[in-house]
Structures are given as structure tokens and as C-alpha cells.
Amino acid sequence: MAVSPVKVDLEEAHEKSFISTSNDTDVGSSLEWTHLTFSIGDKKILDDCSGMIRPGELTAVLGPSGSGKSTLMNVLGGRQSLKGPGKTFDGAVSFNGKVEDPVEFRSRIAYVMQDDTLVATSTPKEILEFSANLRLSGSNKKEVDELVTNLLDSLKLTNCKDTVVGNEIIKGISGGERKRTSVGVELITKPEMIFLDEPLTGLDSYAATTTVKVLKDLAASGVPVMVTVHQPSSEIFAMFDNVLVISEGSIVYQGPRKGLVGFLYENGGYKCPSNYNPADFVLYKLQTEPRENILALADAYRSDFEKRAAPTIEGVRAKAVHLPDVRSKARVASMRVQLRELMKRDFRDVIRNPTVQVIKVCMTIVMGLIMGCVFFQAGADEPEIFWLTNRGKFQSYYGALVITCVGAMMGSAQTTILRYPEQRAIFVREYASNMYSSIPYVFSQTLLEVPMAFIESVIQIIIAYFMINYQGSWILWVLTNLLINLVSASFAQFLGAVANSGAQAMQFMPLLFVPQMIFSGLFHSHEPDPCVAALVAISELPQVHRLPGLLQRVWIRYDPLERGQ
């Protein structure tokens, strides 16, 4: 069922929007770009692109898949690396007429990625408060609360502000509310411009219409908004002020939405039927017409742009040469505040989603009981002559030692190695938005790992220590087990960070952990061949689970390996 067009009262939006307008701030910025050409290797991704975005306008970016929509947005928003092996870039981008590298003004442009990378166990209110506390350092609690409340109201999130975002497993807010929450995260710093990459993907008709209405309200406050859309309905398309059409890296049209149909007819002879959605019509023509016809439209646009807009842009740039640089209002928080906010969020995530931790504890108990039953009383306190004459008994004790160490190593690594790739998208988005640095993020993850590792170590050792009858102080056993657990978790964090997915990380896991076990001292003599001596030395540096070290720590009186048995 079609959704009727949403009428937007621009004056009402101007009054209610949480974003200050140009009457009292420097909001009302423009972005101009001329002759942008960007290539990677032999592939030209952007070809002589020129255009501009003006204050108070909502611009739709249309184009077939692979046409260069996202690349153009990334370049203009300073999110695309323009330098490097095989990369060539030419052209000029100016913000309010001042020509700069786009990276220099990226902090002044809010960039909402296509995927809603949000913490599933946090609520919209908590997510916005997290962003405000990290990006508006110096603001007091009252100011943050007022800003978050106004933002929730402007984005129509008040009714769901205390509901968790959710994911495929955890029930949470709707897709449209999730998208508007992502928008709110970037609007915390009151940006001068807003870019959104495919914000309507996966939304139903009502949610998509509501989202565009919110963006229309924001644009009405004086902040330019540019949105890439794949195939908008006629109702949604009618809400945009301007349209930018791109095909094969070339801009075919950029200007008022109402002028698109006339441009296509005048320069290509393509007449859009009166009852046809102009967005569907132009996308159909871009994908079915011969390439030379599309290039002819691009040439016609370039010619029109040079006559219509280029002189104006050059004049604005000439006036802006001596203007001082204007920086973003965002104020990065201190390392202490970053660590505090990250730990609050991570701890809240554990409390609200205890399933993983419960499974880990249950698994530790079950594995401890299995080990205790298999190696029951294997470590009886006997004199040295007993072990010399009962090698079979010592093999059981030795096996229990090995399984205890390997169990501590693998148990902590598996859950960590699966969790890190899932959090990569969240870290990349927040790091790119300059919320925090990598150091407090890693510290927060590590500090959260310590208590759980300690609990697991205590449970495992208490069960194994008394059932297997390990010798020596059980406290030293717990500490040794804890160190193995933490070292393994560190390796797992590394693997999880470099892998693209949890499945890929699991495939690399044996490559990192098996050599550590082979060269740890558990399975070879104390005097290895020279060819492996270096590997043994390297392995000993990070590992604490070498058998001799373990035996010394738990005060085992006899080790046949040391006697050459």
C-alpha cells in the first residue's frame, strides 16, 4: 500500500529543530567541488566531477550500483584516502569557498554509514549520551542531558529512548528507529553538513518516509544534507530539493529535482511519462541506454555547469582565500574520560547479555569435572621412588598438567576471538568519528576480560586441584592458570582484530596457538636442536605454560624430563 507524501512545515521545523540555525551560529555552510578525477590503478572511479551543495537543501544522490555514489561521498567527506600506491587524484574541493584537502574539514561533516553499527544492548538515549560525553568534552551533565533530550525529540525517538537497540538475537527497536539513532550519533556535535550512505536500505515504506522527513527537517534548519538512495519511491523522491545523478563515475545531472526531467528531455530526448517515477525513469535509462548516450548527457551537464555555476564558485573561493580556518565544535575527551565511558558501556553490555558469560562458566565447570573424573587422584603425594618406578602413573599426572594448560589457553581464546570481529564495525565508525583512540578501547576490553578470566581460573583449578590431587599451593595454580588465560586472550584479541570475520579468525587460530604449544616445553626436551632453539626462545617470552616453569611454581618434587628419563 502506497504511503501518502509527508508534508513538511519548514517554518515549524526551523523552530523545533535541535540544531541552531544560521541566525545564531555559523551553520549554513556550502560545499563546492570542481573537476574531481580519482583513479585506482587503471580504473577511473570518478571522472571530471563538478557540483555544489548549498545550505538548507536536501540532496539525493542517484545512480546504478557501482556508479561511484559512495566514492564521491567518501571523497567529499574526507573519508577516502586519496594518496597511496596506484592512486591518482585531481581537482579541488572547497568548504565555504576555502579550498582544502577534504580530510581537513571531515570533522565538520557528519557521516552516517550504510550499516547501523550500534551496540545492541544499549538504548538510543545511552548511545547519544555516550557520543556526547566523548565528543563534547567540557559540557556539564545538564547540558548533555538537555542536548540529548532535544535530539531524541527531533529524531522522533522519545518513545523508544529506553529500549535496547537489539540485533538478530536480541529484540529491540525498529529499523527506522535504529537508522535515526545512527543519525543522532553524528548530530551530537552540531555538524555543518550531513552525509548519509544508503540510509533507506532495508526499511519499509513508513520507516523510510519517516526517516526522510526527519532529514528534511534538519535541512530546513540550514544544514545541507546529502543522501545516497538506491531506488526511492515517488513519494520519497518528491521530498528532496536537489538531485545528483552519477553514472560510471561521471555526474550526469546536478540541480533542482524539478529540473531533472526537463534536462533529460532537452539533452537526450528522453521524455518521462507523467505517471512515472522520475527516479525510476532515470535509473532505467542509465542502465539500458548505450554508453555514448550517457557520456553525452555528462558532457551536456559539464557544459551547463561551466556556464551556470563555475563563475559563482570561483568568486566564492576568491573571497574565502584570506578567511581563517573554522574548526568543528567537537572537543575530544581526555584518555581518562574515554576509558571511563568505554568501560561503562562494556560492563553494561555484559550485564544485559549474560548468556555468553553463563555459557563460559558452565563450560568451565563441565570441563573441570570431566578432567577430574578422567585424571582422578593422578597427582597423589608420593615419594620420589614412587614416580621412578611407576611411569604410567606419572604419564597420567603429566597428561593432567598438559590438559589443564591447554584448556586454560583455548577456553579464553575462543570466545574472545569470535567477539572481536563483531565489534570491528562499531570501532571503525566510532574511531573515524574521533570519539576515542585505540589505546583506551583496548584497555577497556582487557580490563573487562580480567575478572571473568579470574573467575574461570578459580572454578577450573578448584575442581581440578582437589579431584586430580595436584601438589603445591592452589593459589599458585590459580595465578598460573590466570596468566595463561590472559596471554591467550591477548593473542585472540590480535587475531580477532586482523580477521574479517569470526569464522576467518577461527581458521587462523591453530596457526598461532599450535606452534606456541609445540615450542613451549610441553612436548620436547630441554635441549632442543639448534634449528628450533630460536623458536623455543621466542615461544617462552609470551607464554607461561612451559612445564618446567609450571612444575617449579606448584612445587612438584620430581620431573623426569630434567633427569633425561
- Distant-in-sequence, close-in-space partners of 461: CB < 8 Å, separation ≥ 6: 474, 477, 478, 481
pLDDT for 528 equals 56
pLDDT for 564 equals 44
Residue 461: band (very low, low, confident or very high) from pLDDT cuts 50, 70, 90: confident
Task: Enter the DSSP assignment of 103.
Answer: G
What is the tens place of the pLDDT at every residue in 391-438? 666 677 777 878 888 888 777 777 777 777 778 888 888 888 888 888
Q: Provide, rounded to the nearest whole percent, the portion of the chain with pLDDT above 70.
A: 82
- Copy the grid coordinates of residue 549: 616453569
pLDDT for 327 equals 57
pLDDT for 1 equals 37
What is the tens place of the pLDDT at every residue in 309-349? 888 888 888 877 776 665 555 567 888 999 999 999 999 98
Residue 141 CA neighbour count, 13 Å, CB half: 0
What's the CA gap between 124 and 182, in Å, rounded? 9
Residue 239: band (very low, low, confident or very high) from pLDDT cuts 50, 70, 90: very high
Q: Which of 115, 50, 40, 44 is nearest to 76 (CA)?
A: 50
- Copy the grid coordinates of residue 538: 621466542
The mean pLDDT value for 35-51 works out to 91
Strands (E), 355-502: none
Q: Which residue has the higher pLDDT, 408 or 158?
A: 158
What's the CA gap between 420 and 445, in Å, rounded? 10
Task: Check if the beta carbon of residue 521 is closer than 8 Å to that of residue 548.
Answer: yes
> Of 57-61, 173-177, 317-321, where does the model show the most confidence?
57-61
What is the tens place of the pLDDT at every residue in 212-221? 998 998 898 8
Multiple choice CATH, 13-320, 1.10.10.10, 3.30.70.270, 1.10.600.10, 3.40.50.300: 3.40.50.300
Q: Provide, rounded to the nearest whole percent, the portion of the chain with pLDDT above 90.
A: 26
pLDDT for 296 equals 93
Residue 554: band (very low, low, confident or very high) from pLDDT cuts 50, 70, 90: very low
Boundaries of every domain in the chain: 13-320, 335-553
pTM beyond 0.85: no
Cα R_g (the chain), whole angstroms: 31
How would you label 232-246 residue by residue, b for 16+ Cβ within 10 Å and e otherwise? bbebbbbbbbbbbbb
Task: Enter the DSSP assignment of 470.
Answer: -
**Which CA distances in Å does 496 have to 42, 408, 429, 430, 509?**
33, 18, 17, 18, 9
Residue 86: band (very low, low, confident or very high) from pLDDT cuts 50, 70, 90: confident
The answer, yes or no, to whether residue 451 has pLDDT greater than 60, is yes
Mean pLDDT over each residue of the chain, to the nearest integer: 80
Task: Check if the beta carbon of residue 110 is closer than 8 Å to that of residue 129.
Answer: no
The answer, yes or no, to whether residue 258 has pLDDT greater than 80, is yes
